Amino acid sequence: MNYAFQTDERLGIPLPVLHMEWEQYSEKERSDIIYKWEVIRGRIPNRVAQLERIINEKQALLYEEEDFPTSCRLNSEIAELASCINDLHLWYRVNQDVAAKIHR
């Protein structure tokens, strides 16, 4: 197979791994890739909500935390989770680009 979906542990979702240029895939392969991606893409809002809940929990802990090194650690964890959310939003938009390529 000339493509796969591999789970990105950081983001918590499978991401496409394409071994060829998009235009080199057959119409059927492109359709299969888009279908599989749409299923995964549909889970992204739930994953974002899950990460937002974790951020809220860590922010509550941070608000009460008096130990400076612990607050720095919590801040760093919150920043990493926010970065994951940003990346998930970018991946969520990938479908628009792929769909546009299909319909050219």
| Predicted local distance difference test score (pLDDT) of residue 95 | 64
Residue 10 has pLDDT above 80, yes or no: yes
**Token output for 85:** 């959310």
Where are the domains positioned within the chain?
3-102
Distance CA 78, CA 72 (A): 10
List the Cα angle 12/7/19 in 5-degree steps. 140
- Give residue 101's pLDDT: 53
53-80 pLDDT, tens per residue?
999 999 999 999 999 999 999 999 999 9
Lowest mean pLDDT across 31-35, 62-66, 94-98: 94-98
